[in-house]
Amino acid sequence: MAGILAGVAGLAGCAPTVIVEPAPDAQNPLCADIMLSLPDEVSGEKERKTSSQATKAWGDPSVAVLRCGVTPPGPTTDPCVSVGDVDWISRPSEDGDTWQFTSYGRTPAVEVLVNRKAGPGADVLASVSPALERMPAEARCVGAEDLEG
């Protein structure tokens, strides 16, 4: 995680390429499908070149950085938000400067780091979720209201 965030922290500079650590399963062929389906613009910010396979970044400085092929999260008590037909686990990052969203219930899993200065991330997730909707959901987030019978 520290290496990922170090790359994100370095995004504020003027470098044309965003340094992003590849995810463990970045070579998954389904990541290629997801990457090709992602928008060229997110939150009004244009796509930037990244250093690794199955990654994307938008904005200068970066508003959002995406990695496909991260380790799928297991059941958790962390907050879950649904955007379109995609569930996202939400966590503040260790550095406090970004929100970390990880897709839940789909393989390969996708991680999106959103700069907190850009807002809560809902518009970023709304832009990238359609690319993940093409993958079948294997699990869904559940809350207390789902357990009441």
Structural domain contains residue 15 = no
* Structural domains of the chain, count: 1
* Domain span including residue 103: 29-137
Q: Give the pLDDT of residue 92.
A: 80
Structural domain contains residue 5 = no
Cβ(79)–Cβ(33) below 8 Å = no
Structural domain contains residue 43 = yes
Task: Give the C-alpha separation, 149 to 131, whole Å.
Answer: 34
Structural domain contains residue 75 = yes
Structural domain contains residue 142 = no
User: Which residue, 127, 69, 130, 133, is CA-closest to 102?
Assistant: 69
Structural domain contains residue 19 = no
pTM of the model: 0.85
The tens place of each residue's pLDDT in the chain, 149 residues long, gives 444 444 444 444 454 899 999 999 999 999 999 999 999 999 999 999 999 999 999 999 999 999 999 999 999 999 999 999 999 999 888 888 899 999 999 999 999 999 988 777 889 999 999 999 989 999 999 865 665 55
Q: Give the pLDDT of residue 145.
A: 62
Q: What is the CATH number of the domain that holds 88?
A: 3.40.1000
Structural domain contains residue 149 = no
List the structure tokens of 140: 């869904």
Structural domain contains residue 20 = no
Q: Give the pLDDT of residue 5.
A: 41
The CA-atom distances, in angstroms, between 40 and each of 53, 59, 107, 138 are 16, 11, 23, 28
Q: Give the pLDDT of residue 9.
A: 44
